Each structure stands twice: as structure tokens, then as C-alpha cells.
């Protein structure tokens, strides 16, 4: 991968994805996200060695949504350690990210921290010790990216106004004792966290510690112990793309996390962090063009971990 021109690879990827526009649809159940042009496309790569390249709309901010779950989980694991796993599991769900029946059948314990139930449990845990978890996540993401990032309050309000499924999930978990705070407060915190706005370039920089054994070349600090970095990558590989994680691993072969804003981040352990954005989603809530872009990138650079 290091021997190739990353800029040339991204330019080729941008051409290869063009036939795939129009095959999905934006997340219109969050009205603010439905307003984004479906033809947007950006991609950025940051190498551990320092090289960086980008193409398209890579410097335009977008709603990163569930990608923020990586930041909140990292914060929780750094603060609480293995206590996190008393609230959530580590297994793929095999169900949609906002599924209810599995959660009820399994006594209110989420399968993993990347489905909505798991992320709500992590928000609840952070609320035990932090007054404003969304602000904490925003600050952490900005610190890792090397520049300030913001929460889009209009997106947060739009999401909260339509968060009926998440309210049902939170209330179920409160009834089972998985979360301890008021369900409405937990859902509000989660919605504000998801409304974080970042660009592909910022995301690639922010995720670089997962490619560098927990060390951030951006801020020149160790963010996660190496052991934790490996475990986060394992969770991304097995749980990061919800109920299409197997198909994604087959096609791309990299640990990754998607968001319904159309973003995907992927990690090449030891080498690079990649971020791509295109708003049209497949039926699983993952960017259609973004998945194709990562598949082509993986093929062109032979960087799959599988």
C-alpha cells in the first residue's frame, strides 16, 4: 500500500463509483438528512506514516451519526474498562440496528455497543460520571482530528423529534435495569452525539489511533492501550456494519463503522485510516457508493486484513 500513490488510487476510485449513484436513498426518516444532495461523494486517507490524500467532497462536513459510537465506546472503555461489558455484549446482532424483539428476548442486554441499544447503554454509562456526554464526544473527536468540530443542533432536534424507536429501546432497557437514567434524557444525549458534523479528512485523522496501535500521530499521544486498540478493531470487523457485516467483510475485508449520514470509516491496521461519504444508503443503512469505494480501494491497494 505504501508503494502506491494514494492520491492516484483515490482518483481512480472516484471514477469507478460513478455508475453506482442512484442505487440507494438518503435517511429520509431523519428529515434534516433527507435534504442533503444524494450525489455528494468524498473520500480521505491518512497514513500512519503521515501521508494524506483526499478526493471529491472530502472537506465538506456531514452528519457522522453512528460513527460517533466509536468515540463514545473508546471513552467508556478508557474510563470504565471491562465494566462496559456488564452492560453490553460483543456479538454481531444479525438484526437491524434499531431492532426491539431481540433486545426483549435477551433480557434488555444489547448484543454489541454499535447497535442503537448498545450505544444508548454506553451513553447512559457516560452519564454516570459526565454531565454532558455529547459535548465530551465532540471534544474527543475534535481533539483526535486536530481541530474543533461541532454538533449540528438542527439535525439533533430533527432526530430527537422522530426518535420513537430509540425511545422504545431506552424504555425497555430502563425496565430491565440495563440503563439507570431517565430514558428521555439518554435518548436526547444520544441524538445530540449522533448530530456531530465532521468531514472525511477529519474522520480519517480522528480514527488514526486505531491504525497505529492506539497512538495518534496527529496529536502525538497514546489514546488507547495497544490491547484496547486491537479489541476495538475486532468489534468493528464483526459488528460495525450491523446486519450486513458479513457481506461487508467479504467485499471490503477491513474493520469499519457506518453511519446513516452516509459516512463509513475503515481501518487498515498498522497502515491507515480511511473515511468515505456518500448519502445514498442500502436497505441496511450503509452507504451504497461508500461501500463500493472501499471495496475498490481495498482491491487496488491489496490492503484487506482477510
Beta strands in the chain (DSSP E): 42-47, 52-56, 62-63, 150-151, 196-198, 215-216, 221-222, 256-258, 263-268, 272-277
Question: Which tens digit of pLDDT belongs to each residue from 188-218?
Answer: 999 999 999 999 999 999 999 999 999 999 9
Residues 138 and 151: beta-carbon distance below 8 Å:
yes
Angle 133-145/183-194 helices, nearest 10 degrees?
20
Average pLDDT in the chain: 95
Identify any residues that bridge with 150 across adjacent strands, giving them in sequence order: 197
Q: pLDDT digits over 233-245, tens only? A: 999 999 999 889 9
Q: CB neighbours of 282 closer than 8 A, spacing ≥ 6?
A: 23, 24, 244, 288, 291
Whether 295 shows a pLDDT value over 60: the answer reads yes
CB 278 within 8 A of CB 288: yes
Work out the number of other CB atoms within 10 angstroms of the CB of residue 19: 10
Q: Is the pLDDT of residue 88 over 80?
A: yes
Residue 32 has pLDDT above 70, yes or no: yes
Phi, psi (degrees; rounded to nearest 5) at 56 = 70, -135
> From CA 213, how far away is CA 221, in angstroms rounded?
11
List beta partners, residue 31. Answer: none
Q: What is the DSSP string of 100-131?
A: -HHHHHTTT--S-TTSHHHHHHHHHHHHTT-S
- Taking Cα atoms as reference points, which of 137, 120, 16, 23 lies closest to residue 70? 137
Give the whole-number percent of the chain exceeding pLDDT 70: 98
Phi, psi (degrees; rounded to nearest 5) at 11: -65, -40
Nearest to 183 by CA among 194, 173, 170, 195: 170
Do residues 235 and 74 lie in contact, with contact meaning Cβ atoms separated by under 8 Å?
Answer: no
**pLDDT above 70: residue 4:** no
Q: Higher pLDDT residue, 303 or 213?
A: 213
Which residues does 176 contact at the CB level (< 8 Å), separation at least 6? 107, 108, 109
Amino acid at each position: 500500500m505504501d508503494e502506491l500513490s494514494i492520491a492516484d488510487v483515490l482518483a481512480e476510485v472516484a471514477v469507478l463509483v460513478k455508475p453506482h449513484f442512484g442505487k440507494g436513498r438518503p435517511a429520509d426518516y431523519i428529515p434534516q438528512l433527507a435534504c442533503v444532495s444524494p450525489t455528494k461523494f468524498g473520500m480521505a486517507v491518512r497514513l500512519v506514516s503521515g501521508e494524506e490524500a483526499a478526493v471529491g467532497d472530502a472537506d465538506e462536513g456531514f452528519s457522522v451519526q453512528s460513527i460517533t459510537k466509536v468515540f463514545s465506546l473508546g471513552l467508556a472503555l478508557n474510563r470504565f474498562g471491562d465494566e462496559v461489558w456488564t452492560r453490553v455484549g460483543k456479538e454481531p446482532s444479525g438484526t437491524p440496528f434499531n431492532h426491539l424483539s431481540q433486545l426483549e428476548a435477551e433480557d434488555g442486554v444489547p448484543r454489541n455497543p454499535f447497535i442503537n441499544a448498545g450505544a444508548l447503554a454506553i451513553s447512559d454509562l457516560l452519564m454516570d460520571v459526565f454531565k454532558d456526554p455529547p459535548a465530551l464526544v465532540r471534544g474527543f473527536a475534535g481533539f483526535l482530528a486536530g481541530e474543533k468540530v461541532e454538533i449540528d443542533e438542527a439535525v439533533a432536534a430533527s432526530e430527537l423529534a422522530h426518535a420513537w424507536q430509540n425511545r422504545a429501546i431506552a424504555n425497555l432497557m430502563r425496565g430491565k435495569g440495563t440503563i439507570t437514567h431517565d430514558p428521555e434524557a439518554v435518548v436526547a444525549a444520544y441524538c445530540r452525539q449522533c448530530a456531530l458534523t465532521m468531514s472525511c479528512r477529519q474522520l480519517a485523522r480522528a480514527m488514526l489511533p486505531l491504525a497505529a496501535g492506539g497512538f495518534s500521530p496527529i496529536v502525538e499521544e497514546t489514546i488507547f492501550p495497544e490491547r484496547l486498540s486491537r479489541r476495538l478493531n475486532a468489534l468493528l470487523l464483526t459488528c460495525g456494519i450491523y446486519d450486513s457485516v458479513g457481506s461487508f467483510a467479504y467485499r471490503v475485508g477491513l474493520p469499519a463503522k457506518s453511519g446513516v449520514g452516509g459516512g463509513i470509516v475503515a481501518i487498515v491496521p498498522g497502515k491507515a485510516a480511511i473515511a468515505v461519504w456518500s448519502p445514498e444508503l442500502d436497505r441496511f443503512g450503509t452507504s451504497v457508493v461508500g461501500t463500493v469505494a472501499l471495496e475498490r480501494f481495498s482491491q487496488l491497494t491489496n490492503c484487506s486484513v482477510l
